Structure 1
């Protein structure tokens, strides 16, 4: 009996190892824009190790393929993936842009809201939260395709590899305008969204959209974000990004190092005020050291000795 149990453990371990190999290959292919080969690898991983994680990858990848058949497949695997998930992460995952206008997406939202509230307490304004989550997905939804082409743009010395990027950029602009219009209506109706009203995840959507708007819009709404932040009702990074962006637009040095520029096809931070103390300022508002942030978010190596 012990030998049988040992054999089963070994077989399961081998299956999981093979599944992890398929996941790694799938992730690599997806990052290159090769969705169908990535989907094949994720399907193999799911066959060998049918976990929620593997099912979620299948759902996200099929959603990115945009066809009606793939949307059906995405909902199938997404429902499986979320069975034991009580977070709201899926509601602002931009990979699911192709799903949010489908009636089945509201069912996903309702289920996740219910599980989240059972664990964390009531969301005070669910309609506002729902709208903000969808705005986040619309704002970020073309980033997958856009970022792949932007990387190629840098590699090609300032030229896109395909004209297909231009309608993608046009759709990004269209979504931004629609988001702005809807957000301004909601702000007039409800005021600035706070973490205690809509959850910190949804509240971040308002700052995201405003920060992607015009200088005039940022200037108008930043005091509302700043007040929410000072009251512990807004994410530090959203506050830091908007404050830094306004400073840069006004010809001043940024405080937290969140704004980047290109120098000889390399991204570097915009000028920082008293850069030897940037980590001190970041720590004071709840952010990690700048070199960690830049490396993890943008794969930028930044080193400057910090003073206490």
Structure 2
């Protein structure tokens, strides 16, 4: 009996290693844009170990292939993957762009929101949250294909490897414009989305979308974000980034050091008002020291001695 148990454990261990190896291969193929070979590897891994993680990756890969058959397959594996998943992550995963106009996606949203609420409490404005989640997916959804081609653009000395990228870029622009128009209407109706109303995940979508907007639009809606921040309903970094960006665009110096430029291919912070006091200002709104932020986020070395008033 003991030998049988040890044998079974050994075989399970081998299967785990083999499954992980297949997953690693699949992830690498997907990163290169080779979706069908990646899907085959995920399928082999799933045959060895039917885990929610593998099923989720298969769903995302199928969705990226965009055909009706693959959308059907994506929904099949997504439902399996989410059986014990109580998070909202799938609702803002850009891999699922091809699914969000399908009536079955509404069911996925309803189920995930209900499960999330059973653990975390009520989402007060589900309608707003649902819209914001879909905006995040639309904003990021074409970046899988777009970023692969952008990397090739750099490698090819400023040339895309395929003309197929141009309609993708056009769709990115179309989605951006539609997202902005819809967001402004929602902001006028509901005000700035707060974590207590739509969850922090959905609230991040408003800042993401408005970040692409024209200066005039950001000026118009910044007071809403500022009010939400003052009420403890918006993240400090979200507030600081928009505040700094507006100041820079107005020809002024930034306050919190969140904006940077490139000099000789290296990131450099744009001018900061009284930089010796920047950490005091950042601490007052709940941010870490600038030297830590710049190093961890961008690998920027910044050493200005700090003082306090």
TM-score (norm 1): 0.90
Structure 1: unaligned runs, 5 residues or longer? 295-300
Distance apart, 1:259 and its partner CA: 4.0
Which shows bigger deviation, 193-202 or 253-262? 253-262
- Distance (Å, rounded) in 1 between the aligned partners of 2:31 and 2:126: 34
Asked if structure 2 preserves the Cα contact closer than 8 Å seen for 1:194 and 1:203, the reply is yes
Q: Secondary structure at the match of 1:144?
A: helix
Distance apart, 1:257 and its partner CA: 4.8
- Distance (Å, rounded) in 2 between the aligned partners of 1:138 and 1:204: 14
- Distance (Å, rounded) in 2 between the aligned partners of 1:45 and 1:134: 30
1:203 aligns with 2:203: yes
Distance apart, 1:177 and its partner CA: 1.4
Which residue number corresponds to residue 12 of structure 1? 12
> Residues 3 and 255 of structure 1: is their aligned pair in 2 closer, same or farther, counting only changes over 3 Å?
farther
> Residues 277 and 94 of structure 1: is their aligned pair in 2 closer, same or farther, counting only changes over 3 Å?
farther
- The Cα offsets for residues 211-268 of structure 1, whole Å up to 9 and x where unpaired, read as 111111111111211221232212334323322322332334444554454555x462
Which shows bigger deviation, 16-25 or 278-287? 278-287
Which residue number corresponds to residue 267 of structure 2? 268
Number of positions where the alignment pairs a residue of Structure 1 with one of Structure 2: 301
- For 1:45-194, what aligned pairs fall within 5 Å after superposition? 45-194=45-194
Greater Rg over alpha carbons, structure? 2
Asked if structure 2 preserves the Cα contact closer than 8 Å seen for 1:42 and 1:57, the reply is yes
- Distance (Å, rounded) in 2 between the aligned partners of 1:31 and 1:154: 16
> Residues 263 and 25 of structure 1: is their aligned pair in 2 closer, same or farther, counting only changes over 3 Å?
farther
Distance apart, 1:305 and its partner CA: 3.7
Which residue number corresponds to residue 216 of structure 1? 216
- The Cα offsets for residues 90-119 of structure 1, whole Å up to 9 and x where unpaired, read as 111111000000000000000001001111
Which residue number corresponds to residue 24 of structure 1? 24
- The Cα offsets for residues 153-179 of structure 1, whole Å up to 9 and x where unpaired, read as 222233322222221111111111111
* RMSD over aligned Cα atoms: 2.2
Which residue number corresponds to residue 300 of structure 2? 302
Asked if structure 1 preserves the Cα contact closer than 8 Å seen for 2:236 and 2:286, the reply is yes
Distance apart, 1:286 and its partner CA: 3.9
Asked if structure 1 preserves the Cα contact closer than 8 Å seen for 2:294 and 2:302, the reply is no
TM-score (norm 2): 0.89
Which shows bigger deviation, 94-103 or 170-179? 170-179
